[in-house]
Amino acid sequence: FYLWLLAPFYALKLYCHDCGCIRISTLCTAKTVLGFLLASFGFVEFFYILLERSHEIQNHMVFLLSPIIRSLTVVLAICIIQLERIRGCRSSIFLFLFWVLAVVCSLVPLRAKIQLVMYEGITTDIVRYTAFFSYFSLQLAQLFLCCFADQPPEGKTNPCPVKDASFLSKMLFWWFTGLVVKGYRTPLEAGDLWNLREEDTSDKIISDLEEEWTTECAKLQQQEKTMAAGVALGTRLPDQAQILRKLQKEQSSGFCLLRTLARNFGPYFLTGTMCIIFHDFFMFAIPQVLSLLLGFMNEEDAPLWKGYFYATLMFLLSCLQSLFNHQYMYTCFTVGMRVKTAVMGLVYRKSLVINSASRRTCTVGEIVNLVSADTQKLMDFVVYFNAVWLAPIEIALCLFFLWQHLGPSALAGIATVILIFPLNGFIAKKRSKLQEVQMKFMDGRIKLMNEILNGIKILKFYAWEKAFLEQVLGYREKELKALKKSQILYSISIASFNSSTFLIAFAMFGVYVLIDDKNVLDAQKVFVSMALINILKTPLSQLPFAMSTTMQAIVSLKRLGKYLCSEELKDDNVAKAPLSTDGEGVLIDNGTFSWTKEGPPCLKRINVCVPQGSLVAVVGHVGSGKSSLLSAMLGETEKRSGSVSIKGSVAYVPQQAWIQNATVQDNVMFGREKQKTWYQRVLDACALLPDLEILPAGDSTEIGEKGLNLSGGQKQRVSLARAVYRKADVYLLDDPLSAVDAHVGQHIFDKVIGPKGVLRDKTRVLVTHGMSFLPQADLILVLVDGEITESGSYQELLSRHGAFADFIHTFASNDRKESVTETAAQRGRTSLGDTNSTNLQGMEPMSEIDEEQVPEDLGKLMEVDKAHTGRVRLEMYMEYFKTIGMAFIIPIVFLYAFQQGASLAYNYWLSLWADEPIVNGTQVDTDMKLAVYGALGFAQGIAIFGTTVAISVGGIIASRHLHMDLLKNVLHSPMSFFETTPSGNLLNRFAKEIDAIDCMIPDGLKMMLGYLFKLMEVCIIVMLATPFAAVVILPLAILYAFVQSFYVATSCQLRRLESVSRSPIYTHFNETVQGASVIRAFGEQHRFIVQANKRIDFNQTSYFPRFVATRWLAVNLEFVGNGVVLAAAILSVMGKDTLSPGIVGLAVSHSLQVTGILSWIVRSWTDVENNIVSVERVKEYADTAKEAVWTVEGSSLPLAWPQTGTIEFQDYGLQYRKGLDWALKGITLKIQEREKVGIVGRTGAGKSSLALGIFRILEAAKGEIYIDGVNIAEIGLHDLRSRITIIPQDPVLFSGSLRMNLDPFNTYTDEEIWSSLELAHLKNFVSNLPDKLNYECSEGGENLSLGQRQLVCLARALLRKTKILVLDEATAAVDLETDTLIQSTIRQQFEDCTVLTIAHRLNTIMDYTRVIVMDKGHISEMDSPTNLISNRGQFYRMCREARLV
């Protein structure tokens, strides 16, 4: 009947879903052959009856028809098998159910036949018996075959086995066993994991989602426009209304996102919801069966088969309940995983198109947080969402059944529930507030850490680590304070929850017994009620959790919606046209531009016409809007009026080079094919060949994050080479020559940008401070305060005698030496390279290696985040508990034992009460019994509160210590550590891992200990009732331990692989957000999106098996647990005569909890194991090399040291690492007080190494440095670094007030700060700012121009005013005028100090007392500039190149 009814629908479904034809396999053949055999039995029987029993047929037509119908049904089944094969369905749930039903229906005749045979003997009708038994065996065989899946249609390599799994294997997750066994034998590697299923990949998910989201967004913006139009023009809304509108906007964007996600993932999610409904059905059936079983125990003369039947039925229902529950969880996690992929993809794509105004409102840290924290919240939401509506229904059903047993007393239970609920609701609300506070401080801490890691070099140079350490710890303390409050509230919540069973039972039984003497508690009432109350606990515990998860998800949805709906760059900012041979390359017509919609314009009345193939130079002071002009051409700014058009493709070189963490070659080619000769030509033109000779693996050397192991000049040239390699039509060059030396700059200008360069036929817009290049420009634009004041060729502008002419005359003296003549050709012979050594010259991989290095990882720099293998070591647990302290741990264990003892006592007390004999329809001493019961229960509640608080406080103590150690270890690490460790890894430690230690480990421990003790209690109770159960429980325990050990090994590996593959996603995100403008200018968005997809998919490949592992374990364990139920029930039936119903009820109702307890133990156990990995990862940096101590205790260093400022090097040598070449060798040199020394030399000569040596960023490999006669190796690092000053090459600012950036320790007065700003020529600028000294600098100081940042660094130096000043290429990003100002300031203010300048433009050191010429790590010449020039040595040659002689 089942088959005939549903076959048409099933055939239709198969018709709609074609998965490709499957070749005929042995399995398919076997099924078909068995099918025909079964069918033939029916026909044979039909003829047998016709021939043998023809005389009986008239009365019993049904005997004749039934075999025919059976046979036809089997034939239909065979047809379905073939149809499934043709449509590619490999395992059929439909036929599986058919064969199950067939076998079940045959069981009744089977029993009858067996009884007949035993009664009459087999000989009476041997044919019929043989036929029936064969038929039954064949049915069983068919059922068995149905458990396997057919082979797949031809497919890809290493597919996910769930595709090939049979229906049964999918239900029981057996398809996963292969990976578990593999993980148990050897630790899993990334290569062992399966590929993602097609429907889980980023491509598939996001392509569907993106279109929908775009339309949703468009609708939203339309609504906003109508709203904005609706507000009467010219009126300003009052503040409250504005805030309301902003909130509405955030909410609607969040709901939009939810709608879009629901449309895409809803249908699959609904199949899961069906499973949970089935699960509920089975769950409520179990107490009813228990009631029947206890009823059977009470009946004296009930037949035994009934008892066995009930026992088996309970077992079956329990098993089905488990199966459906885990199918549901599996569906939820799959949907969760897809949501994560979808949201990550959307956020990533958004970060490529978001405009600068919106970009300024959210830092990189916040965007990364959207991807990590908020997507996690959405995934939790998917898992717990159904509980929001299902839990109230479950609660109502429980109360309905309780009413049936106990009548109106059930209302007392409802009252208790109603009391517990608001309490928990209130607590949840308070906690979510506290969580927001905690998240705020955590965001602040992570943002600060991000900046510390980005600016670590500056922190070390200035000895500022302590100030920032204090700041981070300040955030941390506030964060932990909120966490502690939250955890104490949570403990109240947990205590009220765990005692809820008792409280409800106490209220109900109490009221029931007290309202009427005739009300008697017998075993049936007590234990069925207890089973129902235990069911009631699940929805009760889930509901608040589901509510808070939903609340958090709504907050996250709003945050995501707000970001995803933020303003994008408009495509019509710039009109793109195809390249034509004549006309304008770039045209701006009467343009006014600003960075934000509301803000002041940064460029006004701009008219620019750049003819095709011409070179336009843009000049102006610092902050006059030169970079903004290029941004306007790229369409990065808000266009207020006018039009911009560009013909052809664009290449862009930003002012601060953006370098990817990839090889040099990848950075230059930037996604294009390699054309060997062109590539070589580009490298040669950009003067990169000499640098590549120095790098350990040439152009396959990996560059660190943000180009850590390249000097400023090298970064800039790589950035330029990337643009040149492009062969674009229009080049926008934002001061690419600032970070390189004069002669290298000249070379690049000649070979690349100038009239004879590689780009001579292209349209070039060059922002520059170098006067020497101006005569060769076809057009010069002079910018003043965002307006073009003059434009024309060099000669025209000079003849006008305007501002430009004065400017030129002022600097003619400087530039006489750098002017360009046609003798460039003779200079081509000398070797090139900017005169700044890379800060890790000759970087090899950082791991200690033998001399015969394998060439492949020669250029590797970044230490990839490694996954530890194997189980978590015991030491980690010891380490964690040691941090908490033994004094804490002993009371915790004692409290747990006490709490479980109380629980056992009150349950046993109940069973005694239930067995109390009934005298005259009543029981005696009910009041006393109730009182004892109540006392025991309340004792347990108090103990629960105690344990949870204790564990939380212990966890906070531990996490405070661990974070403190991590922070100190990281800040005490030497520079080389930061150059080889990606900042993503470190941030991951501070965010994800510390978060796990804060919350996950204590929560996991609470659960694990709670359930372990609970399990002990259950086992004791079952054994008390039926001591024989020990025989069953022991093997089950062994099996359990066996399964668990398999699982934990695999699960830990998967968790590690997953967290390792997570770091690259964030690193890539970080890089993209910072380089978005470059990526857009080159039009490489698609390639980056593909890369992001790859990284997300790679992460999901390890996430998918991770959650399936939990399901695999839970299903298999719950069968073990259900074994305990079966044992308890069957043994109770066997001992029916000796056992009292009370004890049976106690044992069976407790054994019903075993399945839940087992899966929770393992789940919390693995949670703890998985999260204890965080302790391991945080501890990892305790063993890395550290730099020397910051301050030496009791050192006799005078406060005013250094007083004179003499520096003496004695046979000083420096290596970047043991086994590498010497960066400096045998330097002996004495610098007198007040001496001004210039240090020059080619790239890699060791100039910066000298500075690094003086500051002990690198420790001496041999020899000493004395400052004022004190050996600097013997004093603390901070004592040394705080008494000397450097103006570094990269100007780094931290987000915070301008004042904090100048003086983080608050040691100077405002007057001193203002005077230093005045000397640094920043006073006018700062006094015009709205908040003056309290002006907030954004992340990395991005709201100041590069030149202004450089001046802030100068102000820092002026403020410290130490006796020794080191200048490292400090003039790179500044126009000539500012440069002259800086130089004269340094000359006047540091008159009586020793100044060391790592020279960049030789004219700045011509009047110094001495010049040191470095070459390959030693001093080749040293004398006063005039003597060196007359000696005609290396310095003379350099001066001649720079046209200074």
Q: Per residue, what are the HEC states of 134-147?
A: HHHHHHHHHHHHCC
Quick one: pLDDT band at residue 430, thresholds 50, 70, 90?
A: confident
Question: Residue 826: what pLDDT?
Answer: 31
Quick one: pLDDT band at residue 573, thresholds 50, 70, 90?
A: confident
| Residue in the block written with tokens 């001399």 | 851
Quick one: pLDDT band at residue 821, thresholds 50, 70, 90?
A: very low
Quick one: pLDDT band at residue 933, thresholds 50, 70, 90?
A: confident
Is the pLDDT score of 1004 beyond 60?
yes
**Amino acid identity of 1035?**
P
Mean pLDDT of 592-604: 84
- Please state which of the ranges 95-99, 841-845, 1430-1434 shows the lowest mean pLDDT: 841-845
DSSP one-letter code for 592: E
Q: Is 1411 helix (H, G, I), strand (E, B) or coil?
A: strand
Contact (Cβ atoms closer than 8 angstroms) between residue 615 and residue 776: yes
Question: Residue 1393: what pLDDT?
Answer: 85
Q: What pLDDT digit, counting tens, does each position of 1325-1336 carry?
A: 888 877 778 888
Q: Give whole-number Cα distances, 1203 to 911, 1269, 1307, 1394, in Å.
A: 88, 11, 20, 11
Question: Residue 860: what pLDDT?
Answer: 52
Model confidence, pTM:
0.73
Burial class (CB in 10 A: 0-12, 13-18, 19+), 1173: buried
Question: Residue 595: what pLDDT?
Answer: 82
d(CA 592, CA 542): 57
Phi, psi of 1191 (to 5 degrees): -130, 140
Pairing between β-strand 1270-1271 and β-strand 1410-1415 as defined by DSSP bridges: unpaired
Q: What pLDDT digit, counting tens, does each position of 293-303 carry?
A: 888 887 777 78
Q: Is 859 helix (H, G, I), strand (E, B) or coil?
A: helix
Q: What pLDDT digit, counting tens, does each position of 138-187 carry?
A: 878 877 777 777 666 555 567 778 777 777 788 888 888 888 888 888 88
| Residue in the block written with tokens 């089944």 | 77
Q: Following DSSP, what letter does each residue of 541-563 receive, concatenated?
A: HHHHHHHHHHHHHHHHHHHHHHH
Question: Residue 871: what pLDDT?
Answer: 56
Question: Residue 200: what pLDDT?
Answer: 85
Is the pLDDT score of 618 beyond 60?
yes
Q: Which long-range contacts (CB under 8 A, 24 or more apart) does 40-48 make?
A: 40/71, 41/67, 41/71, 41/131, 41/134, 41/135, 41/138, 42/67, 42/68, 42/70, 42/71, 42/72, 42/74, 43/67, 43/68, 43/71, 44/131, 45/131, 46/71, 48/127
109 against 412, higher pLDDT: 412
Question: Residue 1255: what pLDDT?
Answer: 85
Is the pLDDT score of 856 beyond 60?
no
Quick one: pLDDT band at residue 199, thresholds 50, 70, 90?
A: confident
Q: Is 1241 helix (H, G, I), strand (E, B) or coil?
A: strand
Q: What pLDDT digit, counting tens, does each position of 730-785 carry?
A: 899 888 887 777 778 888 888 888 888 888 888 889 888 777 788 888 888 888 88
Q: Rounded to a whole number, what is the distance in angstroms from the first to the last CA of the chain?
A: 107
Quick one: pLDDT band at residue 799, thresholds 50, 70, 90?
A: confident
Quick one: pLDDT band at residue 864, thresholds 50, 70, 90?
A: low
Contact (Cβ atoms closer than 8 angstroms) between residue 1129 and residue 310: yes
Q: Give whole-number Cα distances, 835 to 739, 746, 1227, 1373, in Å.
A: 10, 13, 19, 16
Q: Is 754 helix (H, G, I), strand (E, B) or coil?
A: coil
Mean pLDDT of 1018-1038: 79
Mean pLDDT of 503-512: 86
Question: Residue 417: what pLDDT?
Answer: 77
Question: Residue 1106: what pLDDT?
Answer: 86
Question: Residue 153: what pLDDT?
Answer: 58
Is the pLDDT score of 1256 beyond 50?
yes
Q: What pLDDT digit, counting tens, does each position of 46-86 carry?
A: 777 777 666 665 556 666 677 777 777 778 777 777 777 77
d(CA 289, CA 279): 16
Mean pLDDT of 1217-1224: 74
Quick one: pLDDT band at residue 822, thresholds 50, 70, 90?
A: very low
Question: Residue 61: what pLDDT?
Answer: 64
Q: What pLDDT digit, counting tens, does each position of 1343-1355 carry?
A: 777 777 888 888 8
Give yes or no for a cis peptide into 1202 (omega within 30° of 0).
yes
DSSP one-letter code for 151: P
d(CA 1262, CA 1214): 7
